[in-house]
Structure 1
Amino acid sequence: MTLNFTDTSMVDAEQSRWYAVDDGVMGGVSRSGFRVEKGLGCFCGEVSLENGGGFASVRREPDGFEQTLAHGQGIALRVRGDGRTYQLRLKNSALDEASAYRVVFTPKAHQWETLHVTWAQFEAVRRGTLLSSAPPLDPRTVHQLGFLIADRTAGPFRLEVAFIAPYEQDLHSQG
Protein backbone atom coordinates (compact mmCIF):
# COMPACT_ATOMS: atom_id res chain seq x y z
CA MET A 1 0.00 0.00 0.00
CA THR A 2 1.22 3.47 -0.91
CA LEU A 3 0.20 6.75 0.64
CA ASN A 4 -0.22 9.17 -2.24
CA PHE A 5 -2.33 12.24 -2.70
CA THR A 6 -3.69 11.81 -6.22
CA ASP A 7 -7.11 10.32 -5.43
CA THR A 8 -9.33 13.42 -5.54
CA SER A 9 -12.14 11.62 -3.71
CA MET A 10 -9.82 11.18 -0.70
CA VAL A 11 -8.30 14.68 -0.53
CA ASP A 12 -10.46 15.96 2.33
CA ALA A 13 -10.13 12.75 4.35
CA GLU A 14 -6.34 12.63 3.93
CA GLN A 15 -5.85 16.31 4.65
CA SER A 16 -7.91 16.02 7.85
CA ARG A 17 -5.60 13.25 9.16
CA TRP A 18 -2.65 15.65 9.46
CA TYR A 19 -2.23 18.13 12.31
CA ALA A 20 0.51 20.54 13.38
CA VAL A 21 2.60 20.36 16.56
CA ASP A 22 4.73 23.49 16.43
CA ASP A 23 6.97 25.27 18.92
CA GLY A 24 3.95 27.08 20.37
CA VAL A 25 3.89 24.22 22.88
CA MET A 26 6.94 25.93 24.44
CA GLY A 27 6.17 29.59 23.70
CA GLY A 28 7.46 29.83 20.13
CA VAL A 29 5.54 31.30 17.21
CA SER A 30 6.45 29.03 14.27
CA ARG A 31 3.49 27.81 12.24
CA SER A 32 2.97 24.92 9.89
CA GLY A 33 0.40 22.72 8.29
CA PHE A 34 -0.09 19.92 5.84
CA ARG A 35 -2.33 20.32 2.85
CA VAL A 36 -3.14 18.23 -0.15
CA GLU A 37 -2.97 20.19 -3.38
CA LYS A 38 -2.59 19.23 -7.03
CA GLY A 39 -1.99 15.57 -6.19
CA LEU A 40 0.77 16.30 -3.67
CA GLY A 41 1.08 16.52 0.09
CA CYS A 42 2.66 19.77 1.23
CA PHE A 43 4.30 20.33 4.64
CA CYS A 44 4.75 24.08 4.67
CA GLY A 45 4.79 27.08 6.92
CA GLU A 46 7.28 29.39 8.58
CA VAL A 47 9.87 28.74 11.26
CA SER A 48 10.47 31.52 13.77
CA LEU A 49 13.30 31.68 16.29
CA GLU A 50 11.38 34.16 18.47
CA ASN A 51 10.53 33.30 22.09
CA GLY A 52 12.98 30.39 22.14
CA GLY A 53 11.17 28.58 19.31
CA GLY A 54 12.56 27.10 16.16
CA PHE A 55 10.62 24.02 15.07
CA ALA A 56 7.49 23.07 13.20
CA SER A 57 6.03 19.63 12.66
CA VAL A 58 3.04 17.73 11.39
CA ARG A 59 1.76 14.30 12.37
CA ARG A 60 -0.68 11.99 10.65
CA GLU A 61 -3.53 10.37 12.57
CA PRO A 62 -3.24 6.58 12.30
CA ASP A 63 -5.54 4.77 9.88
CA GLY A 64 -3.79 1.43 9.39
CA PHE A 65 -1.39 2.64 6.69
CA GLU A 66 1.41 2.69 9.27
CA GLN A 67 1.22 -1.08 9.72
CA THR A 68 1.69 -1.66 5.97
CA LEU A 69 5.14 -0.06 6.23
CA ALA A 70 6.40 -3.11 8.16
CA HIS A 71 6.05 -5.22 5.00
CA GLY A 72 9.12 -3.56 3.50
CA GLN A 73 12.81 -3.20 4.29
CA GLY A 74 12.18 0.46 5.07
CA ILE A 75 10.36 3.47 3.66
CA ALA A 76 10.47 5.02 0.20
CA LEU A 77 9.34 8.59 -0.14
CA ARG A 78 9.33 10.90 -3.12
CA VAL A 79 9.90 14.51 -2.12
CA ARG A 80 10.73 17.90 -3.54
CA GLY A 81 12.22 20.35 -1.09
CA ASP A 82 13.61 23.83 -0.81
CA GLY A 83 17.17 22.97 0.25
CA ARG A 84 16.31 22.92 3.97
CA THR A 85 16.79 19.95 6.28
CA TYR A 86 13.78 17.89 7.39
CA GLN A 87 13.07 14.84 9.49
CA LEU A 88 10.76 11.94 8.79
CA ARG A 89 9.54 10.87 12.23
CA LEU A 90 7.89 7.66 13.36
CA LYS A 91 6.23 7.03 16.71
CA ASN A 92 5.74 3.65 18.28
CA SER A 93 4.94 2.05 21.61
CA ALA A 94 8.62 1.55 22.57
CA LEU A 95 9.13 5.27 23.25
CA ASP A 96 7.25 7.82 25.35
CA GLU A 97 5.05 10.50 23.77
CA ALA A 98 7.85 13.12 23.69
CA SER A 99 10.17 10.78 21.76
CA ALA A 100 10.28 9.45 18.20
CA TYR A 101 12.45 7.63 15.70
CA ARG A 102 13.79 9.97 13.05
CA VAL A 103 15.78 10.07 9.88
CA VAL A 104 17.20 13.41 8.73
CA PHE A 105 17.26 14.37 5.04
CA THR A 106 18.02 17.46 2.97
CA PRO A 107 16.37 17.25 -0.42
CA LYS A 108 17.81 19.39 -3.19
CA ALA A 109 15.90 22.57 -3.85
CA HIS A 110 13.16 22.29 -6.47
CA GLN A 111 14.11 18.76 -7.64
CA TRP A 112 12.17 15.56 -7.13
CA GLU A 113 14.06 12.83 -5.28
CA THR A 114 13.04 9.36 -4.20
CA LEU A 115 14.62 8.52 -0.85
CA HIS A 116 14.98 4.95 0.41
CA VAL A 117 15.42 4.71 4.17
CA THR A 118 16.09 1.40 5.91
CA TRP A 119 14.70 0.71 9.36
CA ALA A 120 18.25 0.68 10.74
CA GLN A 121 18.77 4.30 9.63
CA PHE A 122 16.15 5.59 12.09
CA GLU A 123 17.50 6.86 15.40
CA ALA A 124 15.57 7.41 18.62
CA VAL A 125 15.40 11.00 19.86
CA ARG A 126 13.70 12.99 22.57
CA ARG A 127 13.52 16.74 21.93
CA GLY A 128 16.53 16.55 19.64
CA THR A 129 18.71 14.45 21.97
CA LEU A 130 19.72 10.97 20.84
CA LEU A 131 18.45 8.15 23.04
CA SER A 132 21.35 5.72 22.95
CA SER A 133 19.62 3.20 25.23
CA ALA A 134 16.44 2.97 23.10
CA PRO A 135 15.77 -0.28 21.25
CA PRO A 136 16.10 -0.34 17.45
CA LEU A 137 12.95 0.64 15.59
CA ASP A 138 10.53 -2.26 15.20
CA PRO A 139 8.45 -1.32 12.13
CA ARG A 140 5.59 -3.59 13.28
CA THR A 141 4.92 -1.20 16.18
CA VAL A 142 4.79 2.09 14.24
CA HIS A 143 1.52 3.90 14.90
CA GLN A 144 2.22 7.41 13.60
CA LEU A 145 4.36 9.21 11.05
CA GLY A 146 5.15 12.85 10.52
CA PHE A 147 7.60 15.48 9.36
CA LEU A 148 9.60 18.03 11.34
CA ILE A 149 11.81 20.98 10.51
CA ALA A 150 14.22 22.27 13.17
CA ASP A 151 17.20 23.57 11.20
CA ARG A 152 17.72 26.74 13.30
CA THR A 153 16.86 28.90 10.31
CA ALA A 154 14.00 31.39 10.39
CA GLY A 155 11.79 31.75 7.36
CA PRO A 156 9.29 29.99 5.14
CA PHE A 157 9.65 26.32 4.18
CA ARG A 158 7.97 23.92 1.78
CA LEU A 159 8.37 20.16 1.47
CA GLU A 160 6.24 18.48 -1.19
CA VAL A 161 5.51 14.76 -0.92
CA ALA A 162 4.37 12.68 -3.89
CA PHE A 163 4.21 9.36 -2.01
CA ILE A 164 5.25 7.40 1.07
CA ALA A 165 5.46 3.61 0.78
CA PRO A 166 7.20 0.52 2.09
CA TYR A 167 10.10 -0.51 -0.11
CA GLU A 168 11.74 -3.80 -0.81
CA GLN A 169 15.51 -4.19 -1.11
CA ASP A 170 15.45 -4.48 -4.92
CA LEU A 171 13.92 -1.00 -5.19
CA HIS A 172 16.94 0.52 -3.46
CA SER A 173 18.70 1.22 -6.75
CA GLN A 174 15.77 3.13 -8.26
CA GLY A 175 15.77 6.89 -7.98
Structure 2
Amino acid sequence: MALTLKMLDGVCHLNKCHWQNGFLFRPLLEGCNPRWYSSYRRPGMPPDKMPPWKRIDFSFQKGVEGIKTHFERFKKEIVDHVKGPEGRPLKQYMAEQTRVFWEFRSEEDLNKWIISSDVEIGGKSEIYLELGKNNQSAVLSGTLNTDVPRDGETRYSGYCSMKSKPHLVAFDRKKHYDWSNFNSLYLRVRGDGRPWMLNICTDPYFSHNKNDLYHYFMFTRGGPYWEEIKIPFSKFLFSSQGRIQDQQHALWLDKISTLGFTLTDKVNGPFQLEIDFIGLIMDRAHSEECAYELYERNPKKPKK
Protein backbone atom coordinates (compact mmCIF):
# COMPACT_ATOMS: atom_id res chain seq x y z
CA MET A 1 0.00 0.00 0.00
CA ALA A 2 2.80 2.42 0.85
CA LEU A 3 4.55 1.63 -2.44
CA THR A 4 1.32 2.20 -4.39
CA LEU A 5 0.69 5.58 -2.75
CA LYS A 6 4.30 6.57 -3.33
CA MET A 7 3.96 5.80 -7.05
CA LEU A 8 0.72 7.80 -7.23
CA ASP A 9 2.54 10.65 -5.50
CA GLY A 10 5.22 10.64 -8.19
CA VAL A 11 2.69 10.51 -11.01
CA CYS A 12 0.76 13.43 -9.53
CA HIS A 13 3.89 15.56 -9.28
CA LEU A 14 4.86 14.79 -12.86
CA ASN A 15 1.46 15.26 -14.42
CA LYS A 16 0.09 17.82 -11.91
CA CYS A 17 -2.88 15.56 -11.32
CA HIS A 18 -5.01 16.44 -8.27
CA TRP A 19 -6.29 12.91 -7.84
CA GLN A 20 -7.14 13.41 -4.18
CA ASN A 21 -9.87 15.90 -5.17
CA GLY A 22 -11.98 13.20 -6.84
CA PHE A 23 -15.14 12.12 -5.12
CA LEU A 24 -14.07 8.45 -5.25
CA PHE A 25 -10.69 9.00 -3.57
CA ARG A 26 -11.63 11.71 -1.08
CA PRO A 27 -13.67 9.52 1.31
CA LEU A 28 -10.87 6.94 1.32
CA LEU A 29 -8.14 9.43 2.18
CA GLU A 30 -9.02 11.01 5.50
CA GLY A 31 -6.60 13.57 6.94
CA CYS A 32 -4.79 14.31 3.71
CA ASN A 33 -3.72 17.94 3.34
CA PRO A 34 -5.04 19.13 -0.06
CA ARG A 35 -2.18 21.61 -0.39
CA TRP A 36 0.66 19.08 -0.38
CA TYR A 37 0.96 19.08 -4.16
CA SER A 38 1.62 22.85 -4.24
CA SER A 39 5.17 24.13 -4.49
CA TYR A 40 4.31 27.37 -2.67
CA ARG A 41 5.77 27.80 0.80
CA ARG A 42 5.46 30.93 2.93
CA PRO A 43 8.73 32.65 3.88
CA GLY A 44 10.16 31.51 7.20
CA MET A 45 8.34 28.16 7.28
CA PRO A 46 10.58 25.15 8.00
CA PRO A 47 10.74 22.49 5.30
CA ASP A 48 8.34 19.60 5.71
CA LYS A 49 10.43 16.41 5.83
CA MET A 50 7.50 13.98 6.17
CA PRO A 51 6.47 12.39 2.84
CA PRO A 52 2.86 13.20 1.90
CA TRP A 53 1.83 9.55 1.66
CA LYS A 54 2.62 9.02 5.35
CA ARG A 55 0.01 11.64 6.35
CA ILE A 56 -2.82 9.74 4.66
CA ASP A 57 -5.29 7.79 6.80
CA PHE A 58 -6.78 5.15 4.51
CA SER A 59 -10.31 4.09 5.47
CA PHE A 60 -12.19 1.71 3.17
CA GLN A 61 -15.38 1.76 5.26
CA LYS A 62 -15.63 5.55 5.15
CA GLY A 63 -15.05 5.42 1.41
CA VAL A 64 -17.96 3.04 0.85
CA GLU A 65 -20.25 5.15 3.06
CA GLY A 66 -19.21 8.30 1.21
CA ILE A 67 -19.97 6.76 -2.18
CA LYS A 68 -23.40 5.61 -0.96
CA THR A 69 -24.13 9.13 0.29
CA HIS A 70 -23.28 10.61 -3.10
CA PHE A 71 -25.61 8.20 -4.92
CA GLU A 72 -28.43 9.05 -2.49
CA ARG A 73 -27.88 12.76 -3.22
CA PHE A 74 -27.92 12.04 -6.95
CA LYS A 75 -31.21 10.16 -6.57
CA LYS A 76 -32.72 13.13 -4.73
CA GLU A 77 -31.54 15.47 -7.52
CA ILE A 78 -33.39 13.42 -10.11
CA VAL A 79 -36.60 13.39 -8.02
CA ASP A 80 -36.40 17.16 -7.44
CA HIS A 81 -35.79 17.79 -11.14
CA VAL A 82 -38.97 15.88 -12.01
CA LYS A 83 -41.02 17.85 -9.44
CA GLY A 84 -39.89 21.26 -10.73
CA PRO A 85 -37.27 23.96 -10.12
CA GLU A 86 -35.44 23.31 -6.84
CA GLY A 87 -37.81 20.46 -6.07
CA ARG A 88 -40.97 22.61 -5.96
CA PRO A 89 -43.93 22.90 -8.32
CA LEU A 90 -43.44 25.46 -11.08
CA LYS A 91 -46.49 27.49 -10.03
CA GLN A 92 -45.19 27.85 -6.47
CA TYR A 93 -41.69 28.68 -7.71
CA MET A 94 -42.87 31.46 -10.04
CA ALA A 95 -45.20 33.04 -7.45
CA GLU A 96 -42.53 33.30 -4.76
CA GLN A 97 -41.95 36.89 -3.60
CA THR A 98 -39.59 36.44 -0.63
CA ARG A 99 -37.13 33.82 0.52
CA VAL A 100 -34.81 33.46 3.51
CA PHE A 101 -31.68 32.07 1.94
CA TRP A 102 -29.31 31.91 4.92
CA GLU A 103 -30.19 31.98 8.60
CA PHE A 104 -28.06 31.30 11.65
CA ARG A 105 -29.63 29.02 14.24
CA SER A 106 -27.10 26.21 14.71
CA GLU A 107 -23.47 25.24 14.23
CA GLU A 108 -24.48 23.59 10.97
CA ASP A 109 -25.53 26.99 9.63
CA LEU A 110 -22.16 28.47 10.61
CA ASN A 111 -20.32 25.66 8.82
CA LYS A 112 -21.73 26.95 5.54
CA TRP A 113 -19.38 29.95 5.78
CA ILE A 114 -15.62 30.51 5.66
CA ILE A 115 -13.83 33.29 7.54
CA SER A 116 -10.41 34.65 6.59
CA SER A 117 -8.17 37.62 7.33
CA ASP A 118 -4.80 39.11 6.42
CA VAL A 119 -3.14 36.49 8.64
CA GLU A 120 -2.90 34.47 5.43
CA ILE A 121 -0.38 37.01 4.09
CA GLY A 122 1.38 37.61 7.40
CA GLY A 123 -0.96 40.26 8.86
CA LYS A 124 -2.22 40.64 12.42
CA SER A 125 -6.00 40.99 12.04
CA GLU A 126 -8.28 38.55 13.87
CA ILE A 127 -11.79 37.36 13.04
CA TYR A 128 -14.21 34.98 14.77
CA LEU A 129 -17.63 33.59 13.88
CA GLU A 130 -19.95 32.22 16.57
CA LEU A 131 -23.61 31.91 17.44
CA GLY A 132 -25.29 34.83 19.16
CA LYS A 133 -27.57 34.94 22.18
CA ASN A 134 -30.10 32.07 22.35
CA ASN A 135 -28.72 30.76 19.03
CA GLN A 136 -30.79 33.27 17.08
CA SER A 137 -28.03 34.99 15.09
CA ALA A 138 -24.40 34.85 14.00
CA VAL A 139 -21.82 37.19 15.52
CA LEU A 140 -18.86 38.14 13.35
CA SER A 141 -16.26 39.84 15.53
CA GLY A 142 -12.56 40.45 15.77
CA THR A 143 -9.87 43.12 15.49
CA LEU A 144 -8.67 44.91 12.37
CA ASN A 145 -4.95 45.67 12.16
CA THR A 146 -3.43 47.50 9.18
CA ASP A 147 0.22 46.82 10.05
CA VAL A 148 1.98 45.66 6.90
CA PRO A 149 4.04 42.46 7.30
CA ARG A 150 7.77 42.97 6.88
CA ASP A 151 8.31 40.55 4.03
CA GLY A 152 9.47 43.08 1.46
CA GLU A 153 6.59 42.24 -0.90
CA THR A 154 3.26 43.09 0.73
CA ARG A 155 2.26 46.74 0.42
CA TYR A 156 -1.20 46.77 2.00
CA SER A 157 -2.81 44.87 4.84
CA GLY A 158 -5.83 44.99 7.10
CA TYR A 159 -8.89 43.02 6.01
CA CYS A 160 -11.32 40.48 7.43
CA SER A 161 -13.89 38.60 5.41
CA MET A 162 -16.66 36.04 5.62
CA LYS A 163 -17.72 34.07 2.54
CA SER A 164 -20.32 31.40 1.89
CA LYS A 165 -19.12 28.00 0.76
CA PRO A 166 -19.96 26.91 -2.80
CA HIS A 167 -23.11 24.85 -3.11
CA LEU A 168 -22.11 21.22 -3.71
CA VAL A 169 -24.43 18.50 -4.94
CA ALA A 170 -23.85 14.80 -5.67
CA PHE A 171 -20.28 13.77 -6.45
CA ASP A 172 -19.09 17.18 -5.18
CA ARG A 173 -20.29 19.02 -8.26
CA LYS A 174 -20.63 22.78 -7.87
CA LYS A 175 -24.11 24.10 -8.55
CA HIS A 176 -24.89 27.78 -8.82
CA TYR A 177 -27.96 29.51 -7.39
CA ASP A 178 -30.72 30.97 -9.53
CA TRP A 179 -31.94 34.30 -8.12
CA SER A 180 -33.59 35.52 -11.32
CA ASN A 181 -37.03 35.64 -9.61
CA PHE A 182 -35.80 38.37 -7.23
CA ASN A 183 -34.30 41.82 -7.68
CA SER A 184 -33.06 42.80 -4.20
CA LEU A 185 -30.96 41.46 -1.36
CA TYR A 186 -32.55 41.75 2.08
CA LEU A 187 -30.59 41.54 5.35
CA ARG A 188 -31.36 41.98 9.03
CA VAL A 189 -28.17 42.98 10.81
CA ARG A 190 -26.87 44.86 13.82
CA GLY A 191 -23.48 46.49 13.33
CA ASP A 192 -21.16 48.91 15.07
CA GLY A 193 -21.21 51.71 12.50
CA ARG A 194 -18.53 50.31 10.21
CA PRO A 195 -19.08 49.97 6.45
CA TRP A 196 -18.95 46.46 5.02
CA MET A 197 -18.51 45.52 1.40
CA LEU A 198 -20.83 42.87 0.00
CA ASN A 199 -19.30 40.63 -2.64
CA ILE A 200 -21.24 38.43 -5.03
CA CYS A 201 -19.38 35.92 -7.15
CA THR A 202 -21.01 34.39 -10.22
CA ASP A 203 -20.22 31.13 -11.93
CA PRO A 204 -18.14 32.24 -14.94
CA TYR A 205 -18.67 30.94 -18.45
CA PHE A 206 -14.93 31.10 -19.19
CA SER A 207 -11.85 30.50 -17.02
CA HIS A 208 -10.50 34.04 -17.50
CA ASN A 209 -13.61 35.40 -15.71
CA LYS A 210 -12.85 33.61 -12.43
CA ASN A 211 -11.66 36.88 -10.78
CA ASP A 212 -14.85 38.79 -11.62
CA LEU A 213 -16.87 40.08 -8.67
CA TYR A 214 -19.82 42.37 -7.97
CA HIS A 215 -19.53 44.78 -5.03
CA TYR A 216 -21.71 47.13 -3.05
CA PHE A 217 -21.34 48.76 0.35
CA MET A 218 -23.50 48.08 3.39
CA PHE A 219 -23.43 50.91 5.92
CA THR A 220 -24.35 49.98 9.49
CA ARG A 221 -25.50 52.69 11.88
CA GLY A 222 -24.43 51.07 15.16
CA GLY A 223 -26.39 51.03 18.38
CA PRO A 224 -28.48 48.39 20.13
CA TYR A 225 -31.25 48.21 17.52
CA TRP A 226 -31.55 45.88 14.55
CA GLU A 227 -31.72 47.36 11.07
CA GLU A 228 -33.18 45.91 7.91
CA ILE A 229 -31.18 46.66 4.78
CA LYS A 230 -32.49 46.26 1.24
CA ILE A 231 -29.97 46.45 -1.61
CA PRO A 232 -31.16 46.15 -5.23
CA PHE A 233 -28.99 43.94 -7.39
CA SER A 234 -28.84 46.74 -9.98
CA LYS A 235 -26.61 48.74 -7.58
CA PHE A 236 -23.78 46.21 -7.55
CA LEU A 237 -20.58 47.29 -9.30
CA PHE A 238 -18.77 44.94 -11.65
CA SER A 239 -15.02 44.52 -11.03
CA SER A 240 -12.24 42.26 -12.22
CA GLN A 241 -9.13 41.47 -10.15
CA GLY A 242 -10.11 44.18 -7.65
CA ARG A 243 -10.53 46.95 -10.25
CA ILE A 244 -13.91 48.48 -11.10
CA GLN A 245 -14.48 48.18 -14.83
CA ASP A 246 -15.54 51.01 -17.12
CA GLN A 247 -17.83 48.68 -19.01
CA GLN A 248 -20.54 47.79 -16.49
CA HIS A 249 -23.33 45.28 -16.93
CA ALA A 250 -26.14 43.85 -14.85
CA LEU A 251 -25.51 41.07 -12.36
CA TRP A 252 -26.03 37.55 -13.70
CA LEU A 253 -28.74 36.48 -11.28
CA ASP A 254 -29.10 33.01 -12.76
CA LYS A 255 -25.49 32.02 -12.01
CA ILE A 256 -24.84 33.09 -8.39
CA SER A 257 -21.98 31.17 -6.79
CA THR A 258 -21.12 32.77 -3.41
CA LEU A 259 -21.91 35.78 -1.21
CA GLY A 260 -19.35 37.43 1.06
CA PHE A 261 -18.74 40.27 3.53
CA THR A 262 -15.44 42.16 3.69
CA LEU A 263 -14.25 44.76 6.20
CA THR A 264 -11.35 46.91 4.97
CA ASP A 265 -12.02 50.47 6.14
CA LYS A 266 -8.40 50.99 7.37
CA VAL A 267 -9.54 51.73 10.93
CA ASN A 268 -7.60 49.79 13.55
CA GLY A 269 -9.60 48.36 16.40
CA PRO A 270 -12.34 45.89 17.28
CA PHE A 271 -15.42 45.30 15.14
CA GLN A 272 -18.65 43.34 15.41
CA LEU A 273 -21.43 42.47 13.01
CA GLU A 274 -24.46 40.43 14.08
CA ILE A 275 -26.54 38.83 11.33
CA ASP A 276 -30.03 37.47 11.81
CA PHE A 277 -30.75 36.27 8.26
CA ILE A 278 -29.93 36.93 4.62
CA GLY A 279 -32.85 36.82 2.23
CA LEU A 280 -34.15 37.76 -1.20
CA ILE A 281 -37.18 39.82 -2.15
CA MET A 282 -38.98 40.82 -5.31
CA ASP A 283 -39.71 44.54 -5.15
CA ARG A 284 -42.29 45.31 -7.85
CA ALA A 285 -41.70 49.06 -7.45
CA HIS A 286 -38.06 48.65 -8.50
CA SER A 287 -37.67 48.23 -12.25
CA GLU A 288 -34.07 49.36 -12.74
CA GLU A 289 -31.79 46.83 -14.47
CA CYS A 290 -28.45 48.61 -14.04
CA ALA A 291 -27.85 51.81 -12.06
CA TYR A 292 -24.73 52.84 -13.98
CA GLU A 293 -24.13 54.27 -17.42
CA LEU A 294 -22.95 51.77 -19.96
CA TYR A 295 -20.12 53.13 -22.07
CA GLU A 296 -18.81 51.65 -25.26
CA ARG A 297 -15.23 50.49 -25.00
CA ASN A 298 -14.24 51.84 -28.43
CA PRO A 299 -16.83 54.42 -29.47
CA LYS A 300 -16.94 55.28 -33.14
CA LYS A 301 -15.76 58.72 -34.09
CA PRO A 302 -18.36 60.89 -35.84
CA LYS A 303 -17.78 61.33 -39.53
CA LYS A 304 -16.89 64.81 -40.73
- Shorter-chain TM range is 0.7 to 0.9
The amino acid that maps onto 2:203 is: S
2:186 aligns with 76
Larger strand fraction of residues: 1
- After superposition, residues 157-172 of structure 1 pair within 5 angstroms as 157-170=271-284
| 1:5 equivalent in alignment to 2:100 | no
Which of 1 and 2 has higher RCO (CA within 8 Å, sep 6+)?
1
2:146 aligns with 49
| 1:155 equivalent in alignment to 2:155 | no
Q: 2:126 aligns with which of 31, 42, 48?
A: 31
Give the unaligned 5+ runs of structure 2. 1-98, 149-155, 169-174, 287-304
Determine if contact 1:24/1:53 at 8 Å carries over to the other structure.
no
- After superposition, residues 98-109 of structure 1 pair within 5 angstroms as 98-109=211-222
Determine if contact 1:43/1:147 at 8 Å carries over to the other structure.
no
Determine if contact 1:87/1:105 at 8 Å carries over to the other structure.
yes
The higher radius of gyration belongs to 2
Determine if contact 2:178/2:256 at 8 Å carries over to the other structure.
no
Shift of 1:91: 0.8
Structure 1 96/32 Cα, relative in aligned 2: closer, same or farther at 3 Å? farther
The amino acid that maps onto 2:214 is: Y
The amino acid that maps onto 2:255 is: T
Structure 1 29/50 Cα, relative in aligned 2: closer, same or farther at 3 Å? same
Q: Number of paired residues?
A: 168
Shift of 1:43: 1.9
Shift of 1:63: 3.4
Query: Could you tell me how far apart the structure 2 residues matched to 1:39 and 1:88 are?
Result: 22
Larger helix fraction of residues: 2
1:22 aligns with 117
Percent identity over paired residues? 22
Query: Could you tell me how far apart the structure 1 residues matched to 2:167 and 2:139 are?
Result: 19
Q: 2:233 aligns with which of 101, 114, 119?
A: 119
Structure 1 149/66 Cα, relative in aligned 2: closer, same or farther at 3 Å? farther
Query: Could you tell me how far apart the structure 1 residues matched to 2:273 and 2:209 are?
Result: 27
Shift of 1:66: 6.9
SS in 1 for 2:162: strand
2:166 aligns with 62
TM-score normalised by structure 2 residue count: 0.50
Query: Could you tell me how far apart the structure 2 residues matched to 1:100 and 1:146 are?
Result: 10
Give the unaligned 5+ runs of structure 1. none
Map Cα deviations across residues 58-87 of structure 1 (whole Å, 9 max, x no partner). Answer: 111133897254331111001111011101
Determine if contact 2:178/2:255 at 8 Å carries over to the other structure.
no
TM-score normalised by structure 1 residue count: 0.83
The amino acid that maps onto 2:195 is: T
CA RMSD in angstroms comes to 2.5
